[in-house]
Amino acid sequence: MSLEPTTARRQPSLSLIRRDRSGSTHYTPPGGNVEHGEDLDVALARELAEELDLDIDQAEGGDLMWVVDQRVTRPGPTPPPRKLHLIYRLHITPEVRATLAEVELDELPDGSHETGAIEWVDYRKTAELPIFPPVGAALAALPDPRATVTDAALEAVTDDNYTWV
């Protein structure tokens, strides 16, 4: 997730990828899977380059904010693996933001691509959005984009507290 600082021109906002699917719309922070043998910092830089066209050296921060344990049944025939979602915070300038991608292409198993629209959303409004992993309420509760987070463990995502949109 990339946050940009408050400026006279913009409110503090973060990048989310909007995915419009048949019957639903949901949002995800930029990111993806860590490849076998890949260092977490390398994976973060690779995913941000792939999804936002962001050179991580142009960002400030990179601190781990939250960990979300995913133990939820997903739609589809493939049994869901247990995943840990690592939510990082980076800050970019409006000048860097102006150079970033506006769409993200997610490759599907058949080789085609799903197109996601990259939107910049006021972080205080994220509790109102269908975001996965569900970090919207925690984001919206931050008093400012650089607020210290004292507990990195957010509630686990389970079949009891989450329904796929």
CATH of the domain at 31: 3.90.79.10
Residue 163 lies in a domain: no
> Of the candidates 1, 3, 45, which has an alpha carbon nearest to the alpha carbon of residue 146?
3
Instruction: Enter the tokens of residue 67.
Output: 């960990």
The parent domain of residue 82 ranges over 2-158
Residue 85 lies in a domain: yes
- Indicate the number of domains in the chain: 1
Segment 108-123 shows an average pLDDT of: 92
pTM above 0.85, yes or no: yes
Share of the chain above pLDDT 90, in %: 72
Residue 99 lies in a domain: yes
Instruction: Indicate the range of 53-57, 63-67, 75-79, 161-165 predicted with least confidence.
Output: 75-79
Residue 165 lies in a domain: no
Alpha-helical (H) ranges within 20-106 are: 40-52, 94-97
Residue 6 lies in a domain: yes
121 band by pLDDT with thresholds 50, 70 and 90? very high
pLDDT at 7: 44
User: Does residue 141 register a pLDDT over 50?
Assistant: yes
pLDDT at 8: 42
Residue 164 lies in a domain: no
Residue 71 lies in a domain: yes
pLDDT at 81: 78
Residue 56 lies in a domain: yes
Cis before 134? omega within 30: no
More confident residue, 6 or 147: 147
In whole angstroms, give the CA distance from residue 62 to residue 71: 26
